[in-house]
Amino acid sequence: MSMQASLVNNPSFADITTVGVGGKIARFIEPKSRVAVIEAVEDADELGLPLCVIGGGSNMLVSDENFNGVVVRDARRDIHVLDEAAPSEDGIDLQSGAHLVHINAEAGCNWDDFVSHTISLGLEGVEGLSGIPGTVGASVVQNIGAYGQEVSQSVTSVEVWDRKTKSTMELQKDALNFGYRTSLLKKSMYSSVGVPADSYFPTPRYVVLSVTFCLKHNSTGIVSHSQLANALHVELGERMQTAAIRREVLRVRASKGMLEDASRYDKLWMCGTKCAEGVEFALRLQSEDYVTGEFLEGDNIYSDRHSCGSFFMNPILSTSEADTLPEDAPKFDAIMQDGSHGIKTSAAWLIDHAGFHKGFRLIENGKPSPAGLSSLHTLALTNRNNASCDDIANLAKTIIRGVQSKFGVTLIPEPVVINISIN
């Protein structure tokens, strides 16, 4: 079957991404074994075809044009505890006294399924990352982080397929070069920050096969973020049940419109990519316990849930650059790409103070664009009503230019942007 003919039977990126935009896919493969994942990647590379290895589709903005290449979505979702539930005395965290447990998850495992499973096992270490859409494989590429935790804090090693040497490798934590929303894996896709490389884009040189984590055998976790501490009415650094921390993280994320629309898992091309219990739990919270993520505009109801999540990274500036910001701008110590001291500021603050407030939409041909800022959080660019990739991209460009003009800071998109420019 030709690439063009197969477009009819395959999904579009709109079907498999959380923002719900993107063109049809020429060849879509869901390998069910480790060997099949490697073969699918190697075959595409040998044929010189564009390759996109996708996880949950939550951190991706793809052109509306047809993708005349291969999209691989790993269908392996197993989780294995590599140690006993209470391992021997030599596996103990010196700070807390808790036993250490190593757990391995295949790259295609839904990330929140993984978090939920670790909590059910009485393990501490990733509860603050609850509710982040995507997969285990994508989590280490992006070095996801939230509420005082980053995935890099718990990773011990990542098994990858190296597309250059055509071999598998076990990359230890120290070799992964984790940083703020980046890693060795992500860096292999870019020639510089935000600039795609000529090769290995939009899929890294190193394709994740599985990830091994080291977690603590402890039913409580540390509340390590001030916003979370305030929401829980406890002191920063206090310990609470990990299940309680998870529930509050989900509630706070929902209040910001940062939970994906769980109903996507009932649709043809997403069905089965998240465990049934996880889907049921997410749908229940979405409909009962938390804010709906919906708003009324005229006679129509729209959703804040169809987005890429946080669209821009928080800028890390040199001290001299940070000094040019207003005194009330958020400023936190950080490490720059070259390892020197820097200052991190808030992209959401910059966007809001550049005049782009919650719910902002461009006016096109006398009508509001179907893309807009979330009504709950300025970092989320949302597909409100059948938006196109161009609609999202035009909004992003407008915000980038506005923040640059107001503050002299260039915002860098967090999602992988494929076949479209927003610079």
Catalytic amino acids?
A: 181, 310, 414
Cis peptide before 202 (omega within 30 of 0): yes
Residue given tokens 């669209």 in the structure block: 311
Instruction: Give CA–CA dist 380/304, Å, rounded.
Output: 8
Instruction: Give CA–CA dist 242/217, Å, rounded.
Output: 11
Provide DSSP, 245-256: HHHHHHHHHHHT
Instruction: Give CA–CA dist 27/346, Å, rounded.
Output: 39
Provide DSSP, 136-153: HHHHHHHT-EETTEEGGG
Burial class (CB in 10 A: 0-12, 13-18, 19+), 29: buried
Contact 329, 349 (CB under 8 A): yes
Residue 227 CA: distances (Å) to CA of 175, 232, 233, 412: 32, 9, 10, 25
Work out the widest C-alpha separation in the chain, in whole angstroms: 69
Contact 106, 78 (CB under 8 A): yes
Instruction: Give CA–CA dist 319/158, Å, rounded.
Output: 34
Contact 208, 73 (CB under 8 A): no
Question: Among 357, 243, 261, 361, which Cα is nearest to 308's?
Answer: 261
Task: Count CB atoms within 10 A of the CB of residue 271.
Answer: 12
